[in-house]
Amino acid sequence: MKKSLLALAALGVFAGAAHAQSSVTLYGIIDAGFLYSNNSAGQKQYALNSGNVQGSRWGLRGTEDLGGGLKALFVLENGFNVFNGRLGQGGAEFGRQAYVGLSTAQFGTVTLGRQYDSVVDFTGAFEVGSQWATYFGAHPGDLDNMNNSNRVNNAIKFTSANYAGFTFGGLYSLGGVAGQFNRNQIWSVGLGYSRGPLQLGAGYLNVKDPNFSFFGNTPASSTTGSNMAGSRVYSGFASAHTQQVISAGGAYTFGAATVGATYSNTQFKDVGTEPGTGLNQFGYTGGSGKFHNAEINFKYQLTPALLVGAAYDYTKGYGLANAKYHQGMLGADYFLSKRTDVYIDGIYQHASGTDSTRTAAVANINGLSPSSTSNQVAALVGIRHKF
């Protein structure tokens, strides 16, 4: 009897130890605001909008210590609209992220699932659309994906450990089409450096059949038509065979101020060659729609609770379209506590030239319907709570 009790006690100790080596965390963000636009499809717009500074979400993340410095990990992250409760990311249950993998402090982490690409990981944080300016302040149409509009399905990803401030990583997504190995293939690589006040990053992204593999990888996506109609900046290039993004960014902090900048070159290659109903309605027969994008931004911590920011972004199209977009942004963010803040932002955009639809370019702030003129203004106030 005594031996049995001792055995049970020992099992209890080991079970407690195993439990202590594992953890699961519930987390989330609720971000809600009031939006005004002076011209969306020719009309003024007043709307309640969810997920502005950061997408509204809830998620689970967990780790398990496997011993010898090896850990198992997972993340399941759901996006939603706080005003109607609907799922985000085209109705995907865990459309923001869903992956599992292994990690060591010495080498890094390998994960499998729906994940972020290297442009997002290594340069996305430097644009103000991923900071204080909300996703309306992202680069026009988020054409370079720095604001993480599109995730990558079926992805194998490696992220290195930190080596004296340097990190690097890469991602590969299998298309999964029998007999067509390169169909819907996505791959990316990136490099970052962070030491003291200086942060730098660079990324490369290559997407085959972007209309379906990148813009169209949610339950609500079309399998035959265009999934790129959300922005006239590139909607005419839905029939492109390849999307390529080269990006770089950096920031330097001195005292309470931070100056940052980004550059990207985005190309939609071989436009007119991707088969699909209505993808080539503008009659392209080859060539590439290309864009240079450059942003400079500034933010200042006026008080421990109050942040103000300003930024200017310039986009120049060339190749199949020559549209130009000038965009200015101003914002302020006041923290009521470590987990709750209120914000106000304004965005102005001016367009000129000819856009991807082969017509006169109109202003088209990210996330809004195109303006009926060359100018567009958006303003919003909101509140964000983290848990």
Q: What is the pLDDT of residues 162-186, one digit of tens each?
A: 999 999 999 999 988 888 888 999 9
Residue with tokens 């699961």: 24
**CA-closest candidate to residue 231, choices 84, 323, 58, 369:** 369
CATH of the domain at 365: 2.40.160.10
Number of domains in the chain: 1
Domain around 278? 24-386
- Is 159 contained in some domain? yes
Containing 9, the helix (H) or strand (E) segment is: helix 2-20
Position 344 in a domain: yes
Please tell me the predicted confidence (pLDDT) of residue 21: 81
- Helix ranges (H only) for the chain are 2-20, 118-123, 210-213
Q: Is 239 helix (H, G, I), strand (E, B) or coil?
A: coil
Residues across the chain: 387
Answer for the pair 380, 366: CB distance below 8 angstroms, yes or no.
no
Q: Work out whether the CA dihedral 140, 84, 31, 222 comes out positive or negative.
A: negative
pTM value?
A: 0.92
- Whether the CB-CB separation of 98 and 88 falls below 8 Å is answered with no
Predicted pLDDT at 177: 82
Residue among 342, 355, 353, 347 nearest 381 (CA) = 342
Can you list the residues of the chain whose pLDDT is less than 70?
1-20
Residue 368 lies in a domain: yes
> Two tokens at 97?
């992220």
Q: Residue 155 CB: number of other CB atoms within 10 A? A: 21
The answer to the question of residue 184 being in a domain is yes
Q: Which residue has the tokens 């930024």?
A: 311
Contacts of 220 (CB under 8 A, 6+ apart): 90, 91
Q: Determine contact, residues 249/127, Cβ cutoff 8 Å.
A: yes
State residue 320's pLDDT score.
97
Please say whether the dihedral angle defined by the alpha carbons of residues 380, 264, 274 and 363, taken in this order, is positive or negative.
Answer: positive
Please tell me the predicted confidence (pLDDT) of residue 60: 98
Does 19 reside within a domain?
Answer: no
